[in-house]
Amino acid sequence: MTAIPVLTSISPLAGSSDLWFVDIWGVIHNGVRPFASSVAACEAFRKQGGTALLVTNSPRPRESVGRQLDGIGVSRDAYDGIVSSGEVSRSLIEAWAGRPILHIGPSRDLPIFEGLQAKPGATAEDADVAVCTGLYDDETETPDNYSSLIAKLKVRDIPMICANPDLKVERGGRIIYCAGAIAAAYAALGGTVSYAGKPYLPIYELALKTGAGLREAPISKERVLAIGDGVATDIAGAAGFGIRSVFIASGVYVQAGEAIGHAASRLFESDSAVKPVAVMKDFVW
């Protein structure tokens, strides 16, 4: 296998890009604080005429994601817009308007239902659909805590909408579970799960349409670059959509102290594996 280039600067790839799809959690911030070099890289790309679109598997609408970024301290100069899994999941949820809906996830994710006719409030015993945005308490729980709940749903063959396909993210140096981990456990039981976020096409289609709107011109996929830390989401999703990607190291996939070149060989060694065009230890201009 040809070694994947290890870059110390993203700028060599900036000239061949008009639009960046930048992951948020693990690339722009770690759930607690921004990564200064990542923010600076996006600002530099925008200054030279590029469009930086944050594309995230957050289960919240873009306005709510923006407020969260403000709270963490991410400068609005770092991005032109936001496309979230929560945003594209809303159409899946609205199809269940008027039906009993179980919400699996913390109350902070309730903005996903704002403005919809579909509203949560059902239990596992009477729901017609489950909408999973995360764990009720991701600081203390794991998917094992949900084995009884998803077993009840499976008995009744209740479909699940997963608003965040991520399995895990890194928060302040700790690994926590996301909605995707519960959805994976449900699917393993034979449950039906619908997704709209990365690596699935709907979020990329919306992102490309949003980017074209921001630039007021069509954008060729050859001029789009995805930047993310998720092998199964960012890198696989970019490949499935037909665009290039750059892998950024994070604690989700790269072990503490592991060289990024070694990690790249381990993660992308299979000839059949989808591969980024480059890997970086840190997202730096």
pLDDT tens digits for range 205-254:
999 999 999 999 999 999 999 999 999 999 999 999 999 999 999 877 78
Mean pLDDT, range 156-171, rounded to an integer = 93
pLDDT score recorded for residue 156: 96
Helix or strand run (H / E) with residue 241:
helix 236-241
Q: What is the largest CA-CA distance in the chain?
A: 56
Q: What is the pTM of this model?
A: 0.89
pLDDT score recorded for residue 170: 80
Query: Hey, what are 61's tokens?
Result: 């609408």
pLDDT in tens, 103-162: 999 999 999 999 999 999 999 999 999 999 999 999 999 999 999 999 999 999 999 999
- pLDDT reading at 84 higher than 80: yes
pLDDT score recorded for residue 164: 95
Give the three-state DSSP class for 195: strand
CATH numbers and ranges of domains, the chain: 6-86+199-280 (3.40.50.1000), 95-195 (3.40.50.1000)
- pLDDT reading at 91 higher than 60: yes
Supply the mean pLDDT for the chain.
94
